[in-house]
Amino acid sequence: MSYEKVSQASKIIIGTKQTVKALKHGEVAEVLVAKDANQSLTVKVVSVAKEQNIPVTIVDSMKKLGKVSGIEVGAATVAILR
């Protein structure tokens, strides 16, 4: 279900740095974080999202998250924009 949200979203941001930036600008509706991503990369994203009461969904695979986001490599985080 969560992967479907990404593939159906009109605008997404891929990657931790860009996701944090978008969160700080108030542009994010939901964040997806891959369970198998390095936590040192994702902890900042999850922290900022929780501060702003943005829903965080944990998905199983970086590889699958990257694929549904339209990239050839894994994605640790994806933000669905408003």
H helix and E strand count, the chain: 4, 4
| Beta-bridge partners for 4 | none
Record the pTM. Answer: 0.94
Across 9-32, average pLDDT: 96
- Decide if pLDDT at 12 tops 70: yes
For the stretch 52-67, pLDDT in tens is: 999 999 999 999 999 9
Q: What is the band of 14 on the pLDDT scale with cuts at 50, 70, 90?
A: very high
Multiple choice CATH, 2-81, 2.60.120.10, 3.30.1330.30, 3.40.50.1980, 3.40.50.300: 3.30.1330.30
Closest CA to 22 of 51, 48, 56: 48
